[in-house]
A = this chain, B = another copy of it.
Amino acid sequence: MDRDLIKIKEIFIRALGKRWVSDNNRDLTFYNRDLWPREVISSKFGVWQHKPDLVLWPSSIEEVVNIVRLVNQYHINLIPFGAGSGVCGATVPTSSTPSVIIDLKRMNRIINVDYQSLILEVEAGAIGYPLEVQLNNKGFTLGHFPSSIYCSSVGGWLAARSAGQESSRYGKIEDMVVSLKVVTGAGEIIDTSDILSSEIGGDINQLFIGSEGTLGIICSAELKLNYLPKFKTYSSFIFKRVDDGLGAIRDIMQEGVGGTVMRLYDELDTYIALGHKKSQDKKAGLIQKYIDDLNGDLSDIFLKRVISFPQILNTLSQFIAQGCLLIVIHSGNENEYVKYCQKRCREIAERYGGEDSGEEPALRWERNRYSISYKQSKIFYAGGFVDTMEIATTWDRIADLYYEIKKVIQDRAFLMAHFSHAYEDGCSIYFTFASRAKNYNEAIKNYDFIWKNALDTVVRMGATISHHHGVGLSKIEHLRKQLGKNFELYEILKRTFDPNNIMNRGKFGSRR
């Protein structure tokens, strides 16, 4: 450990107390990555390339200001850390200088709830699920349900422009923000509740939301609350083709009768989401066996086959196609209205040839709504990798985008997709892809090939390279490609709020 670091560690200990400063190897190893699959692959093969040098746990915005000012004196790299469930490497220390992780989990208090104006003020380190439960107990909901809700924080949501499963009703996290308290890279507190920025001048909130720790540290936020809905309805429909389902979702959203949850699955994702009837066809029997393993108990031997022959599986999957499932959950405070929306959705779905398949698929989804992400580790253990890619575009290009990306990935990975965040003007596509990882070099080569080619296609088609996972390290090069000379804007903002480049170096807008 170099002299500056020893010195700065002592200063931090004086400022925060010994318990809240660590250079213990176990901590440094833990904080060396988030859940970016590329780093998970590395860890699995024993490659730990990005250990930070120190970890800090402040308990107040004043302590955060202190830390930032100290770090400014020593020109090292400071990385804000929420719950570590990001999947793009935004917290991975890649700086050319020493790195300090500032973990905000101790700052997890509810500061205030304004029951008249329905505004929650909460610290950035609050974890999603316990926060939501506390609100539910008082009859409210934040309306933000990412599948990472057990292991993601308010600050992380804001830093990456997170979307929850009910975004069609409640919006993405950036739509819920009333104000923020941010400590900039210069060590200044910006409290946008003073600025009331949504009414006059530019909206300063929108600069920090999505900045992924590169401009400063979001310490707390005022967020809009909603009454917990009293009534819910569950519907599902099967469409012949993805395109039919997309037409239905578009019309549903544009008519204003969209569900709180609306998810359209492509053929393969439908098979997994829906369960399936046993087929007499031999080829179908084979593929069913493979997929049962992916979906079920994942016995090693079958799983290895599944991820070893992605192209065969993708081809065979047509034999098990049962169509494309759309699930719709409506919710609200008035039964009459909720039922009306459900009825209109059914009429629109039927116009596109959708067949009613009852409540069960939607209920089943709800029961398992947070569990899917936690099954992924088994695929890594079985010698493969799995990742997700969430891109978005307007309705006029959504089907083309889906088919193009499929073409690009399907020779390299077992691939399925759903359409899960619908708006009046467009929709996102959520691809899940799995492939084998026999050894480190082959795995990384395959992984990088898939991402590079898929995102090249996204950029070429003028779609969005990320809907709600953020940019991190995984998409930074394509962000540059997409923005062209406009990328400079981020560099300007970076210099403005973080003049010494101490905040999360090497992420967007900054040198490593």
Does A2 interact with chain B (Cβ within 8 Å)?
no
Within 8 Å by CB of A194, from B118, B203, B341, B482, lies B482
The answer to whether A479 touches B200 (Cβ under 8 A) is yes
A467 to B392 alpha-carbon distance, docked (Å): 32
Asked if B194 contacts A202 (CB within 8 A), the reply is: no
* A:245-273 near B, CB below 8 Å: 250, 254-257
Query: With A116-B396, A178-B425 given, is the CB distance from A483 to B194 under 8 Å?
Result: yes
Q: Which residue of B lies closest to A337 (CB)?
A: B340
Asked whether, in the complex, the Cβ of B118 is within 8 Å of the Cβ of A424, the reply is: yes
Q: Which residues of B contact A482 (CB under 8 A)?
A: 194-196
- Distance of A188 Cα from B492 Cα, bound (Å): 14
Whether, in the assembled complex, A353 has its beta carbon less than 8 Å from a beta carbon of chain B, the answer is no
Residues of B within 8 A of A424 (CB): 118, 224, 226
Instruction: Report whether A195 and B483 are in contact in the complex, using a CB–CB cutoff of 8 Å.
Output: yes
- The answer to whether A395 touches B116, judged by C-beta atoms less than 8 angstroms apart, is yes
CA distance A194 to B486 in the complex (A): 8
Residues of B within 8 Å of A9, CB to CB, are none
**A204 in contact (CB, < 8 A):** yes
Contact across chains for B203 and A117 when beta carbons are under 8 A apart: no
**Interface size grouping (class) on chain A:** 35 or more
| Interface majority SS (helix, strand, loop, mixed), chain A | mixed
Cα distance A465–B197 in the bound complex, in angstroms: 11
How many Å lie between the Cα of A402 and that of B475 in the bound state?
49
Q: A118-B254, A195-B483 are in contact. Are A203 and B224 (CB under 8 A)?
A: no
The residue in chain B whose Cβ has the minimal distance to the Cβ of A199 is B464
With A114-B396, A255-B333, A425-B118 known as contacts, the answer to whether A211 contacts B201 (CB < 8 A) is yes
Is A470 part of the contact surface with B, judged by Cβ < 8 Å? yes
Contact of A206 among B118, B203, B211, B336 (CB under 8 A): B203
A344 within 8 A of B: yes
A264 to chain B, nearest CB (A): 16
A424 to B117, CA, bound (A): 7
Query: A227-B255, A465-B200, A496-B496 given as contacts; is B195 within 8 A of A486 (CB)?
Result: yes
Q: Restricting to A195-225, which residues have a CB under 8 Å from any CB of B? A: 195-196, 198-212, 224
In the complex the two chains form, what is the Cα distance from A344 to B212 in whole Å? Answer: 43
Residues of B within 8 A of A466 (CB): 199-200
Distance in angstroms between the alpha carbons of A344 and B250 in the assembled complex: 28
Q: A199-B466, A200-B161, A482-B194 are in contact. Are A224 and B340 (CB under 8 A)?
A: no
Q: Kindly provide the distance from the CB of A444 to the nearest chain B CB, expressed in whole angstroms.
A: 24
> Judging by beta carbons under 8 Å apart, are B201 and A210 in contact?
yes
A352 located at the interface, meaning its Cβ lies under 8 Å from any Cβ of chain B in the complex: no
CB contact list, A489-512 vs B, under 8 A:
489-490, 492-493, 496, 508
Pick from B192, B496, B508: contact of A492, CB under 8 Å? B496
Q: Is A119 an interface residue (CB 8 A)?
A: yes
Docked CA distance A178–B117 (Å): 28
Would you call A394 an interface residue if the criterion is a C-beta within 8 Å of the partner chain's C-beta atoms? Answer: yes
- Which B residues touch A212, using CB under 8 A? 201
Residue from A178, A337, A482 with most neighbouring chain B CB atoms (10 Å): A337
B residues in contact with A425, CB < 8 Å: 117-119, 178, 224
- B493 touching A202 by the CB < 8 A rule? yes
Tell me which residues across on chain B come within 8 A of A256, comparing CB atoms: 332-333
A334 interface residue per 8 A CB criterion: yes
CB neighbors of B among A435-478 (8 A): 464-468, 470-471, 475
- The B-contacting residues of A in range 158-214, CB under 8 angstroms, are 161, 174, 178, 188, 190-192, 194-196, 198-212
**Can you sample 30 A-B contacts with CB below 8 Å?**
A117-B396, A118-B395, A161-B199, A188-B485, A190-B489, A194-B484, A195-B482, A195-B483, A196-B482, A199-B392, A199-B466, A199-B467, A200-B471, A200-B479, A201-B211, A201-B471, A201-B479, A202-B490, A203-B207, A204-B489, A206-B206, A206-B207, A224-B425, A256-B332, A257-B337, A334-B340, A337-B340, A337-B341, A340-B340, A496-B496
15 other A-B residue contacts (CB within 8 Å) besides A117-B395, A227-B254: A116-B394, A117-B396, A117-B425, A118-B254, A161-B200, A194-B483, A199-B466, A200-B470, A200-B471, A200-B479, A201-B212, A201-B471, A202-B211, A257-B337, A334-B344
A residues within 8 Å of B by Cβ?
A: 114, 116-119, 161, 174, 178, 188, 190-192, 194-196, 198-212, 224, 226-227, 250, 254-257, 332-334, 336-337, 340-341, 344, 392, 394-396, 424-426, 464-468, 470-471, 475, 479, 482-486, 489-490, 492-493, 496, 508
Closest 10 CB pairs of A and B: A117-B394, A203-B206, A206-B206, A202-B207, A116-B396, A117-B395, A196-B464, A116-B395, A199-B464, A117-B425
